Amino acid sequence: MDALKITGRKTLSGVISVSGSKNATLPIVTAALLSDGTSILRNAPELADVQTLCRVIEHAGAMTSRYDDELRIDGSRVDRPEAPYDWVRRMRASFLVLGPLLARFGHARVSLPGGCAIGARPVDQHLKAFKKMGAAIELDAGYVVASAPQGLQGAEIDFDMPTVGGTENVMLAASLARGTTIIRNAAREPEIADLAKALRSMGAKITGDGMSEIVIEGSSSLAPFDHRVMADRIEAGTYAVAGALVGHDLTVQGFEIASQQALIDVLEALGAQYRLGDGCLTLSKIEHGHPVEVVTGPFPEFPTDMQAQLMALMTQIEGVSSITETIFENRFMHVAELSRLGAEIAINGPVASVFGPRRLSGTAVMATDLRASASLVLAALAAEGETIIRRIYHLDRGYTDLEKKLQAVGACVERVEG
Ligand code: UD1
């Protein structure tokens, strides 16, 4: 199993280009199941999670092929509306095939995702919505068996919380349902707007994406899409934090600044000096920082997917900073590993207090999930000496060419056999 060897305390400078967004790519790939033509996704990141989803839709009968960053998905031979446990347990976003398969075939059998490292993560909101759209839902041996022999019917959906995956699953299904669907308390993440853009290019009639009420008028058939996926705002944010930690004029380029405004505000409050350009952000190491209190929340609040990386930066800031995690109940697993590098962090329920600055020094650590792994990479970049990060298959799920991108701006990072 591969590991990353990082020798810290190198100054990073130059330009890092952001790749296509993982979290936007996944639902858009499932949108290809709504059409019987060949869809084209441009700027598609080559990541383990995207490959996993391709295997899932191939199981259903789709054919996928890739030419560099262009992913083609032929939906003409999709004939098996199911997703087995073996794939869904590897990546819970596979559950997003339920909406499109149910809408296209009137029935689908998709494994429940189960819990994951960062919490229970139920799918009750997805199922409640499909029931409201006329589907009969049964749970059978760990599978969701959904059927709507007359097709799905548009409905008014009121989510209990703004769920990203739930909003996406319903948008996908409603695009091919009869009548109008209204989603209230919808998630407002930029990836939702990117999915809406792809669906609109298929002929779907969607308004309100990016706001908390989305209206979808169902169509009887949809054309394939040709869509360029948005840049990965979490990847961009991760490298921005690297700049604030060990950078000297480190530029992160090719992403929508508005998609990471909450992070930029926090970096500014921490004392970062930065310059904004057209789709790019240039940062240097924070010299005289101030502690901050951050609370994660649904977009446009501070993203839960950035809190682990931010925590690595907080270890280097004078005073007591804190992060309150409100989205997932078990998302502080990186804390034990950051502590092995020399961080001092106290956890009290959903609040992590970070005492800084602490001198970090390299040692062997273990990645536990995707963003936790990114946090360890950042801490290792700031640590004295050599850090070995094991189980980096987590990183390969979500960061395109991480070590190459970091090497190109001066980091001493190498992939070794763990
Ligand atoms: C997506 C992102 C993930 C990010 C998360 C929150 C993808 C592939 N993943 O995950 O990276 O961390 O948004 O921004 O885009 N909930 C329920 N019942 C449901 C659905 C959700 O209780 O049916 C709860 C969850 O447990 C969680 C909250 O709602 O507490 C938000 O979850 P959700 O937005 O659905 O996260 P994901 O779509 O799984």
Closest CA to 172 of 88, 79, 97, 93: 97
Q: pLDDT digits over 360-381, tens only?
A: 999 999 988 999 999 999 999 9
CB count within 10 Å of CB 381 equals: 26
d(CA 93, CA 350): 25
Whose alpha carbon is nearest atom 12 of ligand 1?
A: 305
User: Do 251 and 211 have their domain in common?
Assistant: no
The CATH number for 190's domain is 3.65.10.10
Whose alpha carbon is nearest atom 22 of ligand 1?
A: 122
Closest CA to 123 of 96, 146, 141: 96
User: Do 244 and 169 have their domain in common?
Assistant: no
Q: Tell me, what's the pLDDT at 247? A: 98
Q: Which of 90, 327, 329, 394 is the pocket-test mutation for ligand 1 (most atoms within 8 Å of CB)?
A: 327
User: Do 78 and 213 have their domain in common?
Assistant: yes
Question: Which range of residues forms the domain containing residue 162?
Answer: 22-228
**Contact present, 162 and 189 (Cβ < 8 Å):** no
Residues paired with 5 in a beta bridge:
388, 414
Whether the pLDDT of residue 117 is over 70: the answer is no
Parallel, antiparallel or unpaired: strands 364-366 and 386-390:
parallel
What's the total number of domains in the chain? Answer: 2
Q: Which of 97, 125, 161, 171 is the pocket-test mutation for ligand 1 (most atoms within 8 Å of CB)?
A: 161
Ligand 1 closest atom vs CA 119: 26
Ligand 1 pocket (Cβ < 6 Å) reads 23, 26, 93, 121-126, 161, 163-166, 187, 191, 304-305, 327-328
User: Do 235 and 347 have their domain in common?
Assistant: yes
User: Do 75 and 183 have their domain in common?
Assistant: yes
Q: pLDDT digits over 344-355, tens only?
A: 999 999 999 999
User: Do 39 and 77 have their domain in common?
Assistant: yes
Q: pLDDT digits over 234-250, tens only?
A: 999 999 999 999 999 99
DSSP states along 202-271: TT-EEE-TTSSEEEEE--S--PPPEEEPPB-HHHHHHHHHHHHHHEEEEEEESS-GGGGHHHHHHHHHHT
Q: Tell me, what's the pLDDT at 119? A: 62
User: Do 213 and 276 have their domain in common?
Assistant: no
**Contact present, 47 and 396 (Cβ < 8 Å):** yes
User: Do 58 and 12 have their domain in common?
Assistant: no
**Sheet strand arrangement including 205-207:** 156-158, 180-184, 213-217, 205-207
Angle subtended at Cα 268 by Cα 118 and Cα 305, rounded to the nearest 5 degrees: 15
Q: pLDDT digits over 20-72, tens only?
A: 999 999 999 999 999 999 999 999 999 999 999 999 999 999 999 999 999 99
